[in-house]
Chain A
Amino acid sequence: MIATWYGIVSLMLIIYIALDGRNFGAGMLHWVVAKTPEERRQVIAAMGPLWSWHEVWLVAFGGTVLAVFPGLLASAFAGYYLALFLILWCFILRGVSIEVGGHINDRLWQGFWDFVFVFANFLLAILFGAAAGNLARGVPLDAEGNFSMAFFTDFRTSGYVGLLDWYTVSMAIFAAVILAAHGANYLTLKTEGAVHDRSTNIAKILWIAVVPLFLIISIETFVVRPDLLGHAVFNPFWWLGLILIAVSAISLVSGLATQKEKRSFIGSSLLLVGLLVTGSAAIFPVMLHSTLASENSLTAYAVASNRTALILASIWWPAAFALATIYFVFISRRYAGKVSVKRDNQGFY
């Protein structure tokens, strides 16, 4: 039961990253692929009316973790205090920039909100990358399961570590590049004209950059946490993740080579899913690893709610998940196809 819930909350976070990751990516590339005000509105329109639906996956993830792993939420959120508020403020800025940027048809107004939009998305991609690095590397958990962390300390990956060190920084760079590449794939799929052509070109460059970065990150992860691999090979989900990575890489490469936009976008989405599945399977059952002493680590079994809570959640969660999917399919079918700035005179969505 606890292992299943570990899987479900991981899945929620993975869905979130795959969905909102493309928005981070499109946001980071905003200035690069879109030059005129119309093209820039086209990028925002490509994100579509469901961007807040994507964000809800993160909120629902937070709520579900509180319900089934309250001890984890208490320990991790308090420990990451300042970093989390930085993420929250970036979310506020990003949401505002999307919503109000189109309200006034003025060059300065839109230019300013474009800047806020790019800045917030870039910082979010970096911070989520660093957060993923932190999950793999661990945090300085004490014997009571508490920690409090500086932004950076001595940039080493053991002992009293900070949010940033050489490993989490390289993870942040990797996240920014792969999410930008994913966003470029999405923009290629959803736009036409100049934005489409620029996105196609930049996608190829970014995906080529992803390959060496991926190799470096894999080696680095092995150096930082040599214990993970021996553990992971016995977890079937780790192998599933690897298979997903392989299949999606083929789909991605063939999609890019033959200009099949849908195939390459599905490929890049699955690639993100595969990477995250591999990662979360590798660290299971530990949810928060301690860099001070491995016996301080918080496992899913130690931080879970009582059995009743897990059973109850197993009853209502699938129903809610099905409903959420139905809404998503209903709306996205009505917004299928490429966005054009001129086609719809009711705003840009």
Chain B
Amino acid sequence: MFIGLAMNSNIYDPAFWSRLQFGFTLTYHYLFPQLTMGLAWFIVYFKWRALRTGDEKYNRAVRFWAKIFGLNFAVGVVTGIPMEFQFGTNWAGFSKYAGGVIGQTLAMEGMFAFFLESAFIGALIWGEKRLGPRYHFLAALAVALGSWLSGFFILVTNAFMQHPVGYQTEANGTLGIASLSSYLLNPWAYVQFLHNQMAALVTGSFVVAAVGAFYMLRGLHQTQARLYLRAGTFTALIASLLVAFPTGDQQAKMVGRYQPVTLAAMEGKFTGGPMAGVAVIGQPNIATRRLENPIEVPGALSFLAYGTFQSYVRGLDEFPEDQWPDNIELLYYSFHLMITLGSLFIVLMAVATFQSWRGRLEQSIWLLWVLMLAFPFPYIANTLGWMTAELGRQPWLVYGLFHTRDGYSKVVSNGDTIFTLIGFTGLYFVLGLLFLYLVGREIGHGPDKDVVPIRLKEVVVSKEEEALV
């Protein structure tokens, strides 16, 4: 996320390989925390309901999701440690330049968030009996808070790279911290943090709903399936709405204000003007400097970015070319696909929540199928969002202050980075297989061990019969 992917720089450029390695390891890593940050609150909710109602079904839900959470957490931890180290190994120039500022939040993340999470994670997964119900609830809460706190510190770090505040330039040319409060209260950080956390909640709730739909369609674990479907679809609707408005909207305004050239590139605006539209369809062509086959909503971009339809949106031609993001096509596609997916999430979950409210969701076979198969898309949308943020920041590593091409480690050769990149690819491939196998196995076992499979049709029929009686 921090460094982003570089497709336009050539393969002899050391920055290219370090960017590719950081982009790959971070994109892969973030598949896991985005689920745990969302899922953590479901576990807290289920445990809280179990405490309040004493209903065993909530405890079963906690035990089941804690196992899924644990596997995600473990892969998140082992793939997260390399991220911390790569600041030094591959981005020594950047660490030396900005470490005095961003080190504050990276250290805080370890000290405040990781200790909290790692102390309670084992107790959450295996310690229900040792801790007793109240402390077990506290453990769930601690893990949820820790995971969000960690997200917060990382987002503050990233926000500094997007919109540096609270720093001063030292005599030796590096950056030093000048004010911790303005660094931590970076307006960019708050908007981006809320946008990102809501997006993580979308991933978590889509997964909960998908597992519910899976069991419902197979006629297994009906009580649990009903619980997951109801909690999952409702949360997904709220979170999907919040991702778009106000957080996504504010994020776009922030980009418009502080990174106008990025906004132009995201929207493929080669020339500026008022009444700027949002392209629903279209491909940017850098060679001819225009958007191919555009179908636009006129004035929408002016309105969304600056508040009125008449607002002037600056085009790429108004900026020197060396300030353009270095991969405009990829940036454009990432942003547009993210928006499209986010809109579809709202539609899907609005329909699902409506059906659930009417009590018809469990019988809507087609809708259950869609819910079951929809869970990969929030992962894609989250990844696209981060690609938009990081590609949009280029060619800067710290926006307006420090170029990405100056940040890599001069002493590390291309071959070394390619070697470790290949190593990560292999290791992460095996790790992915292992993860999918074990999670699949847990989902196969299900939340109830003593369950007899029943067919969905029989449930439907018996319910109708019940209604007749």
- Chain A positions near chain B (C-beta within 8 angstroms): 48-53, 55-56, 58-68, 70-71, 73-82, 84-85, 88-89, 91-92, 95-96, 99-100, 103-104, 146-148, 305-306, 308-309, 312-313, 316-317, 320-321, 323-324, 327-328, 330-331, 334-335, 344, 346-349
Contacts and interface: CB of A to CB of B under 8 A. Distances in A.
Nearest to A66: B103
Contact of A81 (B74, B89, B96): B89
B393 to A, nearest CB: 20
Given A96-B74, A309-B176, A63 B81 contact: no
A323 B84 CA distance: 22
B110 interface: yes
Contact of A60 (B87, B99, B104, B110): B110
Contact of A82 (B78, B102, B115, B416): B416
A82 B409 CA distance: 13
B122 A48 contact: yes
B100 A67 contact: yes
A59 B81 contact: yes
B70 A309 contact: no
B110 A82 contact: no
Contact of B411 (A51, A79, A103, A321): A79
Given A146-B411, A148-B412, A349 B126 contact: yes
Interface of B is mostly: helix
Given A70-B103, A334-B130, 17 more contacts: A49-B123, A55-B81, A62-B85, A63-B84, A64-B110, A70-B100, A70-B174, A77-B89, A78-B90, A81-B416, A92-B82, A95-B78, A96-B78, A100-B71, A327-B116, A328-B115, A346-B130
A59 B110 contact: yes
B153 to A, nearest CB: 9
A301 B103 CA distance: 17
13 contacts: A52-B118, A62-B110, A70-B95, A70-B99, A78-B412, A88-B82, A92-B81, A103-B438, A309-B104, A312-B104, A312-B177, A331-B123, A335-B130
B410 interface: yes
Contacts, number: 235
B122 A320 contact: no
Nearest to A331: B119
B115 A324 contact: yes
How many B residues are at the interface, by size bracket?
35 or more
B351 to A, nearest CB: 37
Contacts of B87: 66, 73, 77
B76 to A, nearest CB: 10
Contacts of B79: 92
A84 B438 CA distance: 29
Contacts of A55: 77, 81, 118
A74 B96 contact: yes
B85 A66 contact: no
Interface in B110-162: 110-112, 114-116, 118-123, 125-131, 135, 142
Given A56-B118, A308-B178, A66 B88 contact: yes
Interface centre among B102, B104, B419, B434 (most CB of A within 10 A): B104
Contact of B122 (A50, A80, A96, A330): A50
A344 B126 CA distance: 10
Contact of A64 (B111, B125, B427): B111
